[in-house]
Structure formats: C-alpha cells, structure tokens
Structure 1
Amino acid sequence: MTEAKQNFDRGRVIAVSSGKGGVGKTNVSVNLAIALARKGHRICVFDADTSLANVNILLNLTPEFTLEHVLNGSKRIEDILLQGPGDITIVPAASGIAEFASLSVPQQKLLLQALTTLEQQFDYLIIDTAAGISENVTTFLQSTEHCVLIVTPEPTSLTDAFALMKVMRRRHCESRIHVLTNMVDNYLNSVDIYKRLSGAASRYLNADVDYLGYVPRDESLRLSVQKQVPVMIAYPGSQASYRFQALADSLENIYRAQPTRRSFSLFWRKLLLSGLKKEPGTIRVAAENADTAPTPSTPARGRFPKLAIVKLQQGMVQLVQSRTLSPQSMKSLLGSVLRQIERYYPEIDLLDLRRNAPPPTKPDHADAERSDRRV
C-alpha cells in the first residue's frame, strides 16, 4: 500500500463548482483527477450535472448505463462505473434526469447506497457539480468539507461566484472554499482575481476563502477539448498540465493539515432521515443544513396557502425580469419545474400551453428604466 493511501481512512470528497457555466469546471475536475491518480490515489469523478452530463462529452464516452439506472433500481453503482483515461473512474450522469432535489424516497435511498460505496472504495471522490446556484448544486456543497470554486477573469464569473457563496452562507454551508482561477494570463493576474473575490466575501459575507492556485490560458487546453482527450494525457508537458499537478500537490497538503472530520455519506443519511420524519412521499433537499436544521417537507396537495401561491408567482416573475440567474441556471430551474408538472399534472399539454400563451405585454417606461438600473 502506498504512503498516500495509508494516510486516508475514508475517501476525501471534493465538490468542484462554479457560479456560471463556461469557466472550464468539468475540464478542471477531470484533469485534477488524473493528476491525483498519478500520485497513487484511487480516484472517482462523479458527474453530478444531470442537465448536461459534460464529463461524458469531454471524454468522448457513450456509457451503456448511467446514474439513471442506479436511481431506478435496475443497476448497482458498481455496474455503471467506467474506466476513464489516466486510471480514473467515472460515474456517468444521465442528461435530463430529475435533479437530486426532487428524487423520491426510494431513489434517495439508492443514491445514499451508491455514495456510501464510492466513499469507501476511493481515496478521492471528485463531484463535478452543475454550474449555478440550484438546489442540486448547494446540496452537494453542503455535503462536502471542501469546495473548489472555479472563476475566470470575466466580470460575470466573479459576480456569479459571489452569488454562489452568498447562497452557501445563507444555507449555513460549512464547506471550505478554495478558489481556483482558470484561463488567466499569469500568476499575478490570478492573485488579483482572488483578492477581489475574497475581499468581497470578507466585507459582505464575513467569510474567508482560500487560494488554491491557477490554470493559465493555454492553447493546449483548447486543442485537448477538441480531441476529447484530457490535457494531462494529450499534452503532458504543457504549462496547463504542470499547473494541474501543482494543484494536486496543494490538495494533498490541505488534507494532511486538516484530516476529514465528517462523513460525506453520513450527511446524506441524515438528510434522508430528516425527510422521512416529515414526509413519507418525497424529500425536499437542502434548503438548510441537514445536520442542524432538517428541511420542511412539501405541503400536502390542497393545503398550500393561496397567499403563498400568489407570492410564489410574483417572486418567479421578478426573478425572470431581474435576470439574476444565468441562462443555464434558468434553464435548469425551468427544466426541474416542467418535469414535476409533467409528473403530477399529466393532463396538461405543455406544448399546447406554449402555443396558446398570450402575447407578452409591453412594459411601461418606468418598468424599463427600473430594469436598466438593475443591469
């Protein structure tokens, strides 16, 4: 047994996340996994982005079985694992399946069994979350001790990363945030971006974030994506590959200095139990920290207060008009809602509803001015 493996009593779970899409999150997850595998660790990448399944695309994988088969009970987690490049193992996501936040109790139990197995079998479990601030994302962030937050020099990336940290703070998420700057010109550019984000977090959220490192803007990364081969394998001598290996060293040092204190799978077990105590049907996942404040269950049909429905409708309209969410986050939100409508209101023809929708009303000048000021 290697020295690296002797230092681990159970798998270390890291969530790799971002406030917006297009920042190279999945690329970082995969190449960081390969860098850790080269240090003698057993590595698994869990594709938790059920809307896009980007790991499959990035690695040119066409899995016969996916997470969907585990959640419907037809396969065990061991049956769907894929051997990826660089001695890493992949848990393939199924594009378009329901978000974890809306799984039924039996599906939650199957997910818990799968996560427990992965935590026991691997030294590192890297969770490649969806981008944005959906409930699916924040649940995984709450369940892990460490989160690698990807940001780029784009102003929208910093704004959305701050929004994600704000949601994490509101939900009492204890995951330690490690900022990784991607697509930067050099180290100084990276540090400048980190200081801007950490300064805002300290001033407005009273929160500390760590600096993990950076990945430079490198032509080899673009070429490797086109080839659907990780840069660590396609261009092992590139500057980007060197940085990924350095990032793996940094993560090892973090865990040496701070051994894992809580179990990843235990969080999900407590979450499941808190939901079972309140609602025998389905569980609403992670509106608050499951260790301290179990989430309220969904009200029974016919008991939802009318005033709450009105406020919900108004809030949804305001959310859309404010453009607070990125297009991808809005797509994920709407997809989740539409799937539930199809499930519980099969008599509603969504296509017909869209065809017969009334034309949008033209906003008055005051509304337009308010919208401009918000942007």
Structure 2
Amino acid sequence: MDQAEQLRNIIKANVQPHRPLARVITVTSGKGGVGKSNTAINLAIQFRRMGQKVIILDADFGLANIEIMFGAVPKHNLCDLIYQGKNIKDIITWGPMEVGFISGGSGIAGMSNLDKDYLHYIIQNLTELDEMADTIIVDTGAGISDAVLEFLVASGEILLVTTPEPTSITDSYSLLKALNRHPRYLRDTTQIKVLANKVSGETEAEALYAKLEAVVARYLKMPISYLGMIPQDTQLTKAVMQQTPVSLENPHARSAVAYEVIAAKLMNKELNKNLTKRGMAAFFSHIVSRK
C-alpha cells in the first residue's frame, strides 16, 4: 500500500458518515498586491453577518496580512499542531466578530514525512474544524509556486482575484495555465470563480473578465465563471491604512457593499447547488497525499 492510499484510509477512519463538513473556499491571485487577503478578510466578515461560523487559514507563508488586519498576534500556528502536540483549539486566534484564523506557518510541507499514528492525530484534530466552522477561507500566497498550486488543487472552490492591470490579467492566466498543465491537478467538479477587484465599475469588470475568459477558452479550455466585482474605493484604502477591514470600518462604503453582494452570491443555495462540501480533513489529505 503506497503512502497516498494510507492517507486516504486515515481520512475515511476519521470522517464519520453524518458528520457536518465545512465549505472550503480558497482565495488566490496570480500576483501580489491585487487585494487577495483583503478579499478573504472582508468576505469572512460578511459571512459572519449572515450567521456563518468562519475560520480563515492564512496560508500566505512569510507574510502576516490577516493578523495585521485583525490586530491580533497568534500565540500558536499550524506548525505547533503538527510538531508541538497542540490541539486545534490552541492554534485558533479569534479576531473581530468572532472570525477565527489560523496562521499556517511553514509546517504543511513536512506533513508527508510524519508517521502514520501521528498523522492520524493531526487529521483527527483538523476534522474538528468541520464542527467549528460552516465556511473555511484559505488565503494562499500569490503566484504559481508549488505551495500555492497544492492548496488550489485541494480545494473544490477557487476564488481568483484579479485587477484591470495588464500584468494582473497575464499572471491570472499563467496561474490557470499552471493548474491546467497537469490534468490530475484539478477535479472535474472544481469551480473557479473570478473576482474583478479595483475596477471603476461593472463595465470595466465585465471587460476584464471577457479578456481573461476569451484566452482561457481558446488555449486552456477550462471552465471559469464571473463572480462579480469590487470597485476602487478610497474608503477601502483608508481602512487598509488603519489596518482594519473596510466591512467593519465603514459598512456602507462602496467596496463593503460590494463584498456583501459577493458574499450573498456565494451563499445563494440555487447558484451553488452543484457545490460539494469536502471538509478540512479531506482538504489536507489531498495536499499531503500528493507530496
């Protein structure tokens, strides 16, 4: 039995048939500076207002955007769960509106080297997240590194943030191309949703998406969809400078209202009827089994 098969068996042993599974949304971008982490945070705030229990996994290793925006310094991170024997509750930091977040550290890459019994313990802890959250938002790093790609392929729902800048559109295409290069990377059921950020309005957002969709349809032939847009907004810029989410600082700002609209779309049952919830244990097992 190979390692991947062993991991799948561990997951099956830990996931009970009728246990609730969290929805995992992975937020990513082809380049930095497009508002990826801001999107993750503001969607989390909007989901909380809709009654959702939300946890953010900060997988943007080396940066601390989530904790800076929340004004909270985590005492522990995912490495402490993996290597120091902490439990899942120890590594969750609670921010505004009871949005939880987990600092990823850099320990995920080493999970595949752990022995079976200890991996069983870790997966068992991660499974508890499905009971603690309705929605888990994974904030990846930017670009097309192996670490980013591993998180994307583990997710059934990818939110790709891009802007009208030519380099942002090009880098978004490069990210999709990297995912498409190896068919085994993406499941047939994986949904890729494009969010146009820092646009002047709906017209520019739709034009941006049309450019990206045209080249993807021609060269990659992979399905993507348009989720919506977040307008350029001085109130959002002001909130960022004050290190607070605009959805908290100014809920009536244009950008905050736009995030509310996007959150409502993501929670619309009819629009998301084909979405399959897999939960966090399956999410991490997919990452580890590929290493």
Q: Place the TM-score, normalised by the shorter chain, in its bin.
A: 0.7 to 0.9
| Counterpart contact for 1:179–1:213, Cα < 8 Å | yes
1:261: how far off?
A: 5.5
- Equivalence for 2:114: 106
Deviation string for 1:216-238 (max 9, x for gaps)? 00011111111111101101110
Letter of the 1:101 counterpart: A
SS in 1 for 2:138: strand
* Alpha-carbon distance in 2 for matches of 1:116, 1:168: 27
Cα 1:133–1:208 change in 2 (3 A) is same
Matched, 1:137 2:145: no
User: 1:34 is matched with which residue?
Assistant: 45
Aligned mates of 2:122, 2:214 — CA distance in 1: 37
Residue 68 of structure 2 corresponds to which residue in structure 1? Answer: 57
Runs of 5+ unmatched residues, structure 1: 1-7, 275-283, 286-375
Identity among equivalent pairs (%):
35
| Unaligned ranges ≥5, structure 2 | 1-18
1:102 Cα deviation from its structure 2 partner: 4.5
TM-score, scaled relative to structure 2: 0.84
1:210 is aligned with what amino acid?
Answer: S
| C-alpha contact (below 8 Å) 1:53/1:93 kept by paired residues | no
- Aligned residue number for residue 146 of structure 1: 157
Q: Which structure has more RCO (C-alpha within 8 Å, separation ≥ 6)? A: 2
Partner of 2:58: 47
* Other structure's SS at 1:214 match: strand
- Kindly provide the amino acid, as one letter, of the partner of residue 77 in structure 2: T
Per-residue Cα deviation, 1:182-236 (whole angstroms, up to 9, x for no partner):
1000010000000101111110001121111110000111111111111011011
Task: Work out the CA distance in 1 between the residues paired with 2:38 and 2:253.
Answer: 15
In the alignment, the residues of structure 2 paired with residue 186 and residue 70 of structure 1 have an alpha-carbon distance, to the nearest angstrom, of 43
Number of matched residues? 265
Larger gyration radius, structure 1 or structure 2: 1
Matched ranges for 1:1-375 at <5 A: 9-94=20-105, 97=106, 100-106=108-114, 109=119, 112-172=123-183, 173-174=186-187, 175-253=190-268, 256-260=272-276, 262-269=278-285, 272=288, 274=289, 285=291
Label 1:139 to 1:271 Cα distance change in 2 as closer, same or farther (>3 A). Answer: closer
Shifted more, 102-111 versus 212-221: the winner is 102-111
> Residue by residue, what CA displacement relative to the aligned partner does 1:232-279 show, whole Å, maximum 9, x if unpaired?
11011101110011001110126642241545522533664x5xxxxx
**Superposition TM-score, scaled by structure 1 size:** 0.66
Compare the two structures and name the one with the higher strand fraction: 2
